[in-house]
Structure 1
Amino acid sequence: MIYKEKEDLKYVLCYTRKPQENLIYSEKLAYSMHLAYSEDGVGFQELNHNSGILFAKATENDNGSLNAKSLKNPYIFYLADGTFGILAVRTGAEGENDEESKGRVLLFTSADLLQYKEIGLIDLKGDTYISDIKCQYDEDKKVYIICWSDESGNYYKNFTADILNINSASIPEKTEAFVIENVNTEIEGVVPRNVISVSMEVAHHLICKLIVPTNVEIKVPESVNITSEKELKVVKATAIYSDGTTAMKNVDWNLSEIDWNKSGKYRITGKVHQDHYEFPIATDRADPCIGKWKGKYYFIATNDADGNHSLYMREADNIPDLLKAEEKLIIDSNMYEDIKGLLWAPEFHIVEGDLYILHGATSGEFFYEESHVMKLKKDGNPMDAKDWSRPHRVVKKDGNYLCEEGKTISLDMTNFEIDGEYYVVWSQREFLPEDIGAWLYIAKVDPKEPWKLISDPVVISKPDYGWANNNVFVDEGPFTLIRDGKVFLTFASAMIDATYVVGILCADKNADLLDPASWTKGNYPLLTSRSALGEYGPGHNSYVIDEDGNVWNAYHARPGVNGPRSSGLRRVHFDIDNYPVLDLTEEKDLNPELRNVIMDIIVR
């Protein structure tokens, strides 16, 4: 069925989860707000693969390093303007008491329960740790009533006319105990909180955004007028999905009954085309990238099989043929005296008509890893190592190297163009005097020498959510997808194990991309170990657009919790807001029972 706003889907349950083992669902993930929906307020279905939607932001120290936070006991309520407020008890990363939050409760606002703004800690003026919370707005008195309990079992209430003013709450008054109505549900690991009724519009939007769409219908024209087989090949099928979105599909038509030399009407059958990419498409290949250059497709990835000492490339006429194409060595740790290994995250980029490979490399150990750029010689063959320049180490606009060797590393640099201006985004991590984590930076580059910055680096993301600092504070692996006036920048976060995930930043194409305020970060990751069965720690992805206009997501994941990092490939769908959907698996992309189609053609 296709979900429509007229359906009475209007109950939302918020909950947290019981933590599991670290690599499966740690405290940093479990102690976040999850959502489930119900048509009748009784039977609830989890949203977003039973993964968190709302996470508490880390706090920041003077040197920029972060203190991870989690949340417990979230409570959704309506604000005076009809939008949503969420109160929660902020905790330390593992759910322990948070000294900074003593006597305070964390407030978020949201218009749609998808994107949230963290307002801050409301001071409830009590010198005690808060254990539970609820809130409601009294329309008659025009005041919010915040009820809470402490660890000793005492109950209090505060009043405020302006809940967004975090210092405006009254002195707490003792009050009677409250109980949040229990919800019985079979959702795995659920720690239920409150249920709130929502408009059909809000419910519809949540369902369409947080349940992976499935193919529910295929349409082809009833009849077409054509003169040749070539004209028939451009007739496509329209795949319709449960959220109302669509995608165009090629059809493999049976032409055996057609006499192209005889005018008339013919009824033909066909099968909607789908290329099959079983995971993994390449074992021991991480950070994959597929590029197009002069009518050919190329595949390159980090080589885990030899400890990251080499980069190999494949070439084919189309994407499916890349899977069986021969690999050829492009660079290894024996070619140049200053390239000793850790050849990481290679990417193809075309800058003013020239082909480049951006990659990481070290001149010694891990702490010397830095971003580099290789250029293909004019009229060179991408598959010939001799036609690639020596790697150029990236430099700042003053000519000095981007990072100080042995102190700060840079890696995972990507390149994109907006209106003739070229930008790079990369991951940078300072280790000395203190490891402050890996952050995403952006700068403009000289298109003639795209290893030279022409603006100062600017931080646009830190690993401030629990899913991003799970086991390690890391944002890395950025790559852009530019579509309909938006710049989508996906990136990988957390440790490169089963906890690895893909997050997203978004900016308007015409915004000042060097201004961090132009970028909006999604509160929750787009791709996790719960997104596709048997694929653990998906991350470090890239995009390529094929000859039919389909966008493909190349990513790595592990076939098993402790399996080798291996490459996968999946079509990118676009949701009702035209945002990328990265977890649309093949069986949801095209229903096998709907593949067979019939159409009349009129040969003229």
Structure 2
Amino acid sequence: MKEKYLLCYTREPQDEMVYSGKLAYSMHLAYCEDEQNFEALNHNSGVLFAKATDNANKTMNAKCLKSPYIFTLADDSFGIVAIRTEAEGENDPESKGKILFFETKDFIQYTEVGLINLHSDNFIQDVVCSLDNTKGTYTICWSEEGKWFKAETENLHLLEISSTPVAVEPVKLQSINTDIEGIIPRNIISVSEKIGNRLKCRLSTPLNIGMEVPEEVAVNSFEELKSIKAKAVYNDGTTSLKTIDWDTTGINWSRPGKYEITGTVHQEHFEFPIAINRADPCITKWKDKYYFIATNDADGNNSLYIREADSIPELINAEEKLLLDAYTYDHIKGFLWAPEFHQIGEDLYIFHAATSSEFLFIESHVMKLKRGGNPSKKEDWSMPQRVLKKDGTFLCESGKVISLDMTVIPWNGEYYAAWSERQFVPVDLGAWIYIAKINPEEPWKLISDPVILTKPDYGWANNHVFVDEGPYAIITDKKLFLTFSSALVDSTYVVGLLTAEHGADLLEPKNWTKGNYPLLTSRSVPGEFGPGHNSYVTDNEGVVWNAYHARPGIEAPRSSGLRRVHFDIDGYPVLDLTEERDLDPYLRNVKTNLMVK
């Protein structure tokens, strides 16, 4: 098998709103097949970030990394050593005389093992590591105060060197010439063809390269013909079924025979943005109609409007009707945030945030549609109720802790709620995501204790502010995917991912796997800044759509967008497949032989 090559690097920080130190000081990867012409992966964004550390009062210290170096481990997996730094690349007092060690099998999922103690009283300036196959030991070389040293260890997991450091000549890394923007190159490593190909597929956006239709179809009616679909083929080997707009001119359905017909592969067009000043969008299908709702940034988040249509495309220009405002109820005074539709049993609910007075009193609320009610009529919705814990008390202590972005996850015949919660008093802990089981008959009531799912411990999640929020689930035949949004809701906003296996106990944190890098950022789709707060809806054709918000400019208002969700070679959601990459215009025209029976 032919070897592939990976180049690891960090980047020079750019403008704070474009690519700050918290993003630049992470490990990036580039790929090539000839050890010369490297292609940046993951939109030239980081794939490996250092975790924040915890303080006694539960606040966190953001951390970054510099000088990453990849090497092979004895079991043929890979290790990475790096220098852990403070958030903007400054020396980290907690890491003085130590280096950070990670391991990975595939360069997609990483484990941060910990800090290896080099028994130095100085800050480490550079580091490399290698496996000595003959001795079965690892040699770590590092520089401090301009001098180089080396030591050995038999087991990196012990996080200690086992030999006395000795002075050595300076280590010089291979000179690398590449035009990758902002690159601070480190080292190149060869990997198997299997690892290299999979990594390129996972960390590159797919591209439509082919279209397959049956050479001959036998049907009796136009309705049967509409069920014949085209298979779009992508450069990573994945596929997607597409409907076809067939030209049936000249076909006599009552007369058996053979016809050559042509068609055009169908693609819905959603130009970004579909709705200006609408954030945290959510679309649902309810009793053969589609509904759209979102946070209203146009009036300071004091109202929620709903749209109704027969199809998702028709929602774009549908009339907006007022559903809830900050003046109807005494306990609803504003901050109407992140409304979400959820069907639980036979009933439809809207989960949303609202405040009874000021910002520090924001709480998750639930409204229920009356049986037989019309979702677009505000009179058919119940008064919003605050979410309660299993002991009957309110979810959060008013004036100290807020809750928002509550979503519902149907799982193994039960229902769970996940939400974002942020303590402000006595200290600001940032926003963390929790999960608990809920009562399906009264879904504003938890029936289990809340469990922490994720905290903003990576640089992309604590960029400008420590925030994890906006969870929303996609459940496939492979896994449960829970996307969430992180950082400040400016151009640094991003989408992260948690994953659970089918049958898993969702209240057990170890059953969740957190991705080390975000799925969607300002570098994912040109012209869309700070994408996030996703929700998902499946249309009549089985297509999964991602409703999200982003900004059409760095300083532009939050605005809603729609894009098809693709699934990669491992079944993970792809959120950055633009219409141009989803369907090549030159492949849209198809033909087949039609047999009328």
Do these two structures clear the TM 0.5 threshold for a shared fold by scoring above it? yes
Query: What are the Cα deviations for residues 101-131 of structure 1, in whole angstroms up to 9, with x where unaligned?
Result: 0000000000001110000000011111001
Matched pairs, number = 597
Contact 2:151–2:161 (CA under 8 A) maintained in structure 1: no
Supply the distance in 2 between the matched residues of 1:212 and 1:230 (Cα, whole angstroms): 34
Report deviation, 1:335.
Answer: 0.6
- Which of 286, 296, 306 pairs up with 1:303? 296
Residue from 117, 124, 146 that aligns with 1:130: 124
Q: Kindly tell me: are residues 186 and 305 of structure 1, through their superposed partners in 2, closer, same or farther at Cα, counting changes over 3 Å?
A: same
**Corresponding residue of 1:263:** 256
Q: Once the two structures are aligned, what percentage of the paired residues are identical?
A: 62
Inter-partner Cα distance in structure 2 for 1:564 and 1:41: 43
Identify the residue that residue 291 of structure 1 maps to in structure 2: 284
- 1:565-584 pair list within 5 angstroms: 565-584=558-577
Per the alignment, in what secondary structure is the counterpart of residue 18 of structure 2?
A: helix
- How far did residue 9 of structure 1 move? 5.9
How far apart are the structure 1 equivalents of 2:382 and 2:449? 26
Instruction: Report the CA distance shift for 1:405/1:218 in structure 2 as closer, same or farther (over 3 A).
Output: same
Offset at residue 365 of structure 1 (A) = 1.3
172-181 or 212-221, larger mean C-alpha shift: 172-181
Q: Does residue 145 of the first structure (1) align with residue 139 of the second (2)?
A: yes
Partner of 1:464: 457
What one-letter code is carried by the residue in structure 1 that aligns with 2:487?
A
- Out of 369, 382, 386, the position equivalent to 2:375 is 382
Residue identity opposite 1:32 in structure 2? S
Residue 383 of structure 1 deviates from its aligned partner by 0.7
Give the aligned partner of residue 453 of structure 1. 446
Q: 1:39 aligns with which of 5, 16, 33?
A: 33
Equivalent residue for 1:51? 45
Aligned residue runs from structure 1 range 299-378, under 5 A: 299-378=292-371
Paired residue secondary structure (1:428): strand
Alpha-carbon shift at residue 136 of structure 1 (Å): 0.5
Q: Contact (CA 8 Å) 2:114, 2:159: kept in 1 or not? A: yes
Shift of 1:168: 4.3
Residue 197 of structure 2 corresponds to residue 204 of structure 1? yes
Q: Alpha-carbon deviations, 1:505-560, whole Å to 9, x = none?
A: 00112111101111100010000000001000000000000111111000000000
How far 1:176 moved relative to its partner?
1.3
Paired with 1:50 and 1:324, the residues of 2 have a C-alpha distance of 36
Indicate the SS of the match to 1:357.
Answer: strand
Offset from partner CA, 1:279-301 (integer Å, 9 cap, x none): 00000000000001111100000
Cα distance in 1, alignment partners of residues 476 and 222 from structure 2? 32
Corresponding residue for 1:193? 186
| Residue of structure 2 in register with 1:398 after alignment | 391
Residue 269 (structure 2) pairs with residue 276 (structure 1) = yes
Distance in 2 separating the partners of 1:544 and 1:307: 27
The equivalent residue for 2:212 is 219
Query: Which residue pairs with 2:234 in the alignment?
Result: 241
Match of 1:3 in 2: none
101, 116, 141: which is aligned to 1:107?
101
Root mean square deviation, CA, Å = 0.8
**Contact 1:371–1:413, Cα closer than 8 Å, also in 2:** yes
**Matches of residues 549-588 of structure 1 in structure 2 within 5 Å?**
549-588=542-581
Counterpart Cα distance in 1 of 2:288 and 2:146:
70
| Offset of residue 486 of structure 1 | 1.2
Q: Give the TM-score of the pair, scaled to structure 2.
A: 0.99
2:125 aligns to what SS in structure 1? strand
SS in 2 for 1:300: strand
| Residue in 2 that maps onto 1:120 | 114
2:498 counterpart (486, 496, 505)? 505
Consecutive unaligned residues of structure 2, counting only runs of 5 or more, are: none
Aligned AA for 1:455? Answer: S
Listed one character per residue, the Cα deviations across residues 41-94 of structure 1 (whole Å, up to 9, x for unaligned) are 011110000000000000011222110000000000000111000000000000
Partners of 2:34 and 2:261 in 1: CA distance: 46
Deviation string, structure 1 residues 302-358 (Cα, Å, up to 9, x no partner)? 000000000000011110000011000000001101100000000000011100000
Which residue is equivalent to 2:515? Answer: 522
Q: Match for residue 535 of structure 2?
A: 542
Does the 8 Å contact 1:269/1:599 carry over to 2?
Answer: yes
2:72 to 72, 78, 81: 78
1:170-189 CA distances to partner (integer Å, 9 max, x unpaired)?
23111111111121100000
Q: CA deviation at 1:573?
A: 0.3
TM-score, normalization by structure 1: 0.98
Structure 1 residue 169 displacement after superposition: 3.6
Displacement of 1:259: 1.2
User: Counterpart of 1:189 in structure 2: which amino acid?
Assistant: G
2:57 and 2:346 map into 1 onto residues whose CA distance is 41
Give, in whole Å, the separation in 2 of the partners of 1:366 and 1:17. 38
In structure 1, C-alpha distance between the alignment counterparts of 2:45 and 2:248, rounded to whole Å: 47
Counterpart of 2:202 in 1: which secondary structure? helix
Counterpart contact for 1:301–1:312, Cα < 8 Å: yes
CA distance in structure 2 between the partners assigned to 1:242 and 1:73 by the alignment = 33
- Equivalent pair of 1:124/1:170 in contact (CA under 8 Å): no
Aligned residue identity for 1:58: A
Partner SS state of residue 164, structure 1: helix
Q: What is the CA deviation profile of residues 226-258 of structure 1, one whole-angstrom value per residue up to 9, with x for unaligned ones?
A: 111110000000000000000000000001021
Answer yes or no: is the 8 Å Cα contact 1:78–1:137 preserved in 2. Answer: yes
Q: Any idea what the Cα deviations from partners look like across 1:400-446, whole Å, max 9, x if unmatched? A: 00001110000000001112211000000000000011000000000
Equivalent residue letter for 1:42: Q
Counterpart amino acid of 1:96?
Answer: E
The range that moved more, 172-181 or 344-353, is 172-181
Shift of 1:469: 0.2
Q: Does 294-303 or 61-70 show the bigger shift?
A: 61-70
Inter-partner Cα distance in structure 1 for 2:227 and 2:427: 58
Residue equivalent to 1:422 = 415
